[in-house]
Structures are given as structure tokens and as C-alpha cells.
Amino acid sequence: MEIQYVIINFLILLILLFIVGRKTVKRLFGGRYERINSELDRAEEIEKMDMPTLVDPSAEVICADCGDEAEKAQSLVTEKIASIEAFGEREKSEIHRNMIQDARKELFSVMKENVVSLFSYEKYLNEIKELDRQVVDEILKRISLTPGDMAYLKHQEVLYVTLTSAYPLPKDIVDDVDKATTQMLDTVGGKTSLWVLEDPALIGGLKLRIGDTVYDGTVSEELYQFGKNLNCEPILHDDTVGHLIQEFTEKAETFKPHIHQYQLGRVMTVSDGICWMDGLADIMYGEVVEFECGERGMVLDIQQNRIGCVIFGEYEHIESGSKVRRVGRIASVPVGECLLGRVVDAMGNPIDAMGYLPYKETRPVEFKAPGILDRAPVNSPLHTGIKAIDALVPIGKGQRELIIGDRQTGKTAIAIDTIINQKGKDTICIYVAIGQKDTLVAEIKEKLEANGAMEYTTIIAVPASSSAALQYIAPFSGSAMAEYFMYKGKDVLIVYDDLSKHAVAYRELSLLLHRPSGREAYPGDIFYLHSRLLERAAHLSDELGGGSITALPIIETLAGDISAYIPTNVISITDGQIFLDAELFNEGQRPAVNVGLSVSRVGGAAQSPSMKKVSSSLRTRLAQYRELAEFMQFGSDIDDETKKTLASGRLLTEALRQPRYAPVEDDMQTILIFAVSEGYADGISPDEMERFEKDLYRYFREEKAELALEIKQANKFDEELKNSLKEALGEFVTRS
Ligand code: ATP
Ligand code: MG
């Protein structure tokens, strides 16, 4: 009986909920739904509308005289290139590119002059004046209040509206604008104050500014857009000035003023690469802004009355009071296969004198890291080719392994060797050099080229001399470039060399942005800075393509102090660290991996079964040896057992030595470590280890290739395999 009551009660409740809930939901969402629909309809209508054509000057008129300029420029180019016959291809193409760029600028200024003089003809002038009416109607159809305007109106009563034209406007146009804007503001209970201005620099047409939003239907704006698009056009190897003329004529044919909409702000102060602005009502964090001089910046601070941004380029030409406009996108960099083999700056512009980067896609520099469900466990190895690392602190694809150590302890060397070892392994590498010397980057590039590693590598070079803003953004750009490949299902290795300098650059920016400083004068969000960067390294699940980003951040310590602020931060973010010991390095034990302090928290799952088995006791044996060796410095009485442990420990340490640029395959590493730890090298002196190692590799490569392959691919390092390896090693030892 009771159950029946419960069911009946439940049904009544459901019906009640349906009746009451339906109305509430409708009330809540109905209004919003209708608003969205009407906005969409309006947007569609605007799309369909025909743009008024201000003027239709023929391409010939606009490009008049361009031909003469072009011929002059072409002869200059030919002359210059002929005079530098002695230079290499690369220098020649660089000069060619620069000259074409100059010629383009020259042509553009001729074109501008032509357009200006065009509008001094009575015929065109009248034509354009007649069209003012159409432009105004068009603008009035588009105007609306932005969220920024609404927010402004909450604190202020009046929203300023400015109507600017090249020539005096008839009264009816001004009245219409006044009426339309007053009406629009009435709906939200605000007032307008209309200013009517004249500015001959606009050449023709008019623009309306409401709050910070500008609806621009002027000829000068069209010219500006034309020039901007032109600068983005690639300069190809076979471009001549003849091509340029053609390009200009084609473009000029489609030169028809449209109505451009953008938001404006004003520069308040500029100093040390930081600019404070006001206006730009709807700007977002991370958005790109453009200054009048053409430089760009990125918004890093939004306060109620002012907006702080970092300037990417030179800030000497930015004046206080000058205009700044929203570009309408978040800072992003070019991505794609075209970046492989190239050296680029923090914004992805090529700096290797190899010309234009033919990219098709860009990605935002800041991007959300994959969530838990998007990730798969780290389960396949990323071999570094360095014995001490692959055996003791193995790295898996998708892992973040920190390389940490004092200065000049071989941190960069490990990263570069790992990149070289990815040859033929279908892994893309990105090396981000932050605050490094230019000569070092050039040297690294040369070495990578010599080892055939540049084909699959991109270098992002931000030298110590570049601004803090660029140093700050470089690792994020690298991450964006890596993500492109990861989401395509590929494996990527990214090296951040080094994050200590990155932290310093960020501290500089934060202090200049007047943010409160915390421990060691770093801002409070420095942990978040590095964690959001390193979280972007991941091994994606199979549904997302199974790609991965393995990150090797580098941190420099002072006198081995890993408990300083930045080292502890990054240690806690990463999945392990390779600690390089200055003492070991100076003793000549290179790579100077400190076995006791180095760990890999997920890498064990990513080792081959044979290597895992062979290296399982290596760590304790090495630690034991170092402890004993230190202790024995003081004593002379050593029993036989200790002597044996010391000798074999010494041999093992010796076997882990490795020169630069000499990666060893995984199977050979396994065989060597097995041979030494099982005592097959006991007869030799430590100095002979190098020869022993070489002979061993040769023997297994040439005579026991099958066994080596078996060791590499075996699912289990069982007794049978162990015995055949022992047999082969016995044969090798008796022979040598
Ligand atoms: P910095 O702190 O200046 O960035 P670093 O820690 O990155 O230095 P590296 O530049 O990689 O160190 O190396 C320092 C020096 O040690 C270089 O001259 C390099 O050639 C040498 N070196 C590094 N690793 C090895 C190695 N395995 N064998 C021999 N020499 C090495
Ligand atoms: Mg270095």
C-alpha cells in the first residue's frame, strides 16, 4: 500500500513541477531567446545589404605613375643584386626581399597621393559628397550600444558621440544622426552629446564615433586597410617589381570603401615597454592592440579606469595622447608544418633570413590545457639517447620533466641531445630559447643542422636583448605551435630554455604594471604562470588522436639551491626532475646527473621491459657506490667485499659517461648496463671503458643484431632472453 502512495505522490509532484516549471522556464529564457533571434536577424539583414560605393575610381587612375616608380625600383634591385654576386643565395634573397618591401612602400605612397589628388577633382568630389547620405544611412543601421558603453553609462550620464567628415555635412544628415543616437540612448536611460567635426585628412566620407566604437566609412580608413593587407602579403622568391604593379592594379580594382567598425582608445603613458591606455571599452585580457605608429601590444591588465598593455616592438614612437585601436583578436602565432626547420621570434616572425613563412593557420598563444578526460596515461617512452637518463630517470611521451642545475652544468646539452635523438622517430621538436645569447642559438642551430635534426625542429629565439614582453610570451607561443601538432595526433617535444629567465621577465613586467610583489619580489601569480604553461603538455586520449607534448623545462639554480622560490614551484608542477650536479660536472662525470636527487614520477611505465628489468637495481648500486666512495676517502683499510663494490660501482659510473651529440639506442644501452652490472667488464680498468663500450656496440650491431632487436621488442625480459644475452656476452668477453 505504502509504495502505491509513494508512487502517486511522486506523479503528482512531477505534474506540479511540469505546470509550474514550464512557465518559469519560459519566462526566464523566452525574453532572452527572442532577443538573440532578433539580433541574429538584424545581423543577417546587414550582411545582405549592398554597400554604398563612394567612388569608383579606375585602377589606372589610382596606379598612375606607379609604373615609373616601379621601373626605377626594379633597375635598382637588379643593379644591387648584380653587385653582390659574391654573396650566397641566402643573402641575395634577403636583399631581394628588403628591396621589394621598399618598392611596395614606395608604390603605396604614390598610390595614396593619387587618391588624394583624385578627390580634388570636382567630378569626384561631388560624387563623394552625394554619397554621404548613403554612408550615414548605412552607419545608422549598424549602430548599437556595446557592453562597455552600458557599463560606462552606469557611472556617467552622457555618452559622447562624434561625427567627423572630410567636408561640411548638410544639416539634415547631422540631425538624423542626432535623432538616431538620442533615440538609441533613450532606451537605456542615457543622454548623448553630439560633436560635429571636420577633418580634411579623412580625404572623403565620414565616420561616427559612439563611446569608444567607431563606424568608419572614410577613404583614409580604406587606404589604411589597403596598406595593412598589402604588408601582410608574402614576398615570394620570384617577385619582381613588375609583379608588384600587377598586384597593385588588381587590388586597386577592388578598392571600394566599406564601413569599418573598430574600437578606439587613447595612450595615457608609455614607459619601459608598458603602455597605459583609456577607452577601448570592450577590450579583453590577452587581446592585441595596434598603435598609430603600427606597433602592436597585448593587454595584460584591465582596471576600471585604465588598461595596461605590453608593447612587442619599439615604443619610442608611441606618444601619450595618440590613438590605439583594438585589432579584434587574441594574441596568436602562426602554426603548421612550414615552421619546421625555421628560426622564429616570439610572435612567430621568421628571423633566419630564409624568407616568408607560408603559414595557413594561427593559434592563440594562451590556450586551455586538456582536461582529465581528454588525457591518456603516459605509456610510451621518449628516448633521450642519454644512458644516465633513459636508464635512471626515463621520460615518457606527454610527461613534463624538469632539467635543473647550476649554470654551465650541461642543461642545454641534455635538451639538444634529446632533440638530436628524435631523428627518424616521428617526433617534432620545438626549442624555445628565452634570454639566451644569440651566438648560443646560432651554435645550436648549426649543430642541429649538422646532425640532420633541423628538419623536424623549430627554434623560437628571444635573445636577452629583447623586451621582457617578448621573453614572457615566447614559451606560450612555442606551446601554441606544439599544440597544433599534438591535436593532429603527432608527438612533440618542447624545450623551454630556461624558465628562470622567463620568471625574471615576468617579474619585470609585473613590477612595471604595479602589481604587488611577493616572495623574492616575484608576483603572486608566478606559480599559475608556469603551471598553466606546463599543464599544456599532455598525452591525449585515443579519441582525440593520441598526440602528445612532452615538455622539458630548464631551471637554473644558484649554488645547487633547489629550495629557492622558482625551483620549488617548477619542481612541484613537473612530473620529476633531472638534477645536474656542478661537482660531478667538474669531476668530469658528464652528463652530471645526480642519481639521488633525480626522479621521474611517471616515466617508469614508459621504459622498455628489458631496460626496466636491467636498470632496476642500478639506482641503489650507484647510490651505494657514491656513499662508500665518499666514506673511503678517509680510511685506508678496505676489505675485499667493499673493494669489489667500489670497483664495480666505479665501472658503472664510468659506463654512464657520455659525450655530447652521441645518442645511444635503447637496445645498446640495455646491453651495456646489463654487461657492466653483471660483471662482464670486471676485468678492465675504468679508462678502458670507452673502448669496451664501442667494441660491445660494434659486436652486437654486426654479429648479434637479431638478439639486440629481440631485447628491444620483447614484452618480458625472461630467463631465456637473459641466458641468451649472457651467452653472447660470454662470447664477446672471451674474444676481446
Ligand atoms: P648555462 O647555464 O650557461 O645555460 P648549461 O647548464 O646549459 O649552461 P651547457 O651550455 O649545456 O650548460 O654546457 C656547458 C658546457 O659543458 C659546454 O661547453 C658543453 O660543451 C659542455 N658539456 C655539456 N655536456 C657535456 C658532455 N656530456 N660532455 C662533455 N662536455 C659537455
Ligand atoms: Mg643553457
What pLDDT sits at residue 339? Answer: 97
Told to judge if 407 belongs to the known catalytic residues of this protein, a careful annotator would answer no
pLDDT tens digits along 124-168: 677 777 778 888 988 999 999 999 898 888 888 899 999 999 888
Q: What average pLDDT score do residues 243-263 get?
A: 72
Q: How far apart are CA 519 and CA 527, in angstroms?
A: 11
417 preceded by a cis bond (ω within 30 of 0) = no
* Residue 258 CB neighbour total at 10 angstroms: 15
CB 678 within 8 A of CB 684: no
Candidates 509, 492, 362; CA nearest to 432 is 492
pLDDT tens digits along 50-59: 444 444 455 5
What pLDDT sits at residue 38? Answer: 59
Candidates 520, 659, 517, 531; CA nearest to 589 is 659
Instruction: Indicate the range of 414-428, 598-612, 643-657 predicted with least confidence.
Output: 598-612
Tell the residue number behind the cell numbers 659525450, with chain if given: 659
| SS (HEC) of 104-162 | HHHHHHHHHHHHHHHCCCHHHHHHHHHHHHHHHHHHHHHCCCCHHHHHHHHHCCEEEEE
DSSP 272-317: TTEEEEEE-TT--TTEEEEETTS-EEEEEEE-SS-EEEEESS--TT
* Residue 454 CB neighbour total at 10 angstroms: 21
CATH of 335-606, one of 3.40.50.300, 2.60.260.20, 3.30.870.10, 3.90.1150.10: 3.40.50.300
What pLDDT sits at residue 4? Answer: 65
Q: How far apart are CA 202 and CA 483, in angstroms?
A: 43
Does residue 445 line the site of ligand 1, with CB under 6 A? no
DSSP-derived secondary structure letter, 430: E
Domain ranges of the chain: 2-118, 125-253, 260-330, 335-606, 618-735
CA of 658, nearest ligand number:
1
What pLDDT sits at residue 54? Answer: 41
Does residue 539 line the site of ligand 1, with CB under 6 A? no
Instruction: Give the CATH fold of the 618-735 domain.
Output: Lysin (1.20.150)
- pLDDT band for position 46 (cuts 50, 70, 90): very low
If one compares 262 and 11, the residue with the highest pLDDT of the two is: 262
381 preceded by a cis bond (ω within 30 of 0) = no
Q: Which CATH class is domain 260-330?
A: mainly beta
> Which set of grid coordinates corresponds to residue 630?
665518499
pLDDT tens digits along 601-646: 886 677 999 999 999 989 889 988 988 888 877 766 778 888 888 8
Q: Which atom of ligand 1 is nearest to the CA of 405?
A: 6
Does residue 412 line the site of ligand 1, with CB under 6 A? yes
- pLDDT band for position 554 (cuts 50, 70, 90): very high
Q: Which of 411, 501, 583, 654 to mutate to test the pocket of ligand 1 (most atoms within 8 A of CB)?
A: 411
- Give 339's contacts (C-beta < 8 A, 6+ positions apart): 348, 357, 359, 458, 481
Radius of gyration from C-alpha coordinates of the chain: 34
Separation of 590 CA from ligand 1 center, angstroms?
9
- pLDDT band for position 93 (cuts 50, 70, 90): confident
Distances (CA, A) of 516 to 286, 512, 520, 555: 20, 10, 12, 24
Mapping DSSP to helix (H, G, I), strand (E, B) and coil, where does residue 460 land?
strand
The structure's pTM equals: 0.85
Does residue 74 surpass a pLDDT of 70?
no
Mean of the per-residue pLDDT values for the chain?
A: 86
Pairing type for strands 361-364 and 599-600 reads unpaired
Question: Looking at ligand 1, which residue's alpha carbon is closest to its atom 19?
Answer: 410
Candidates 482, 399, 403, 385; CA nearest to 697 is 385
What pLDDT sits at residue 83? Answer: 59
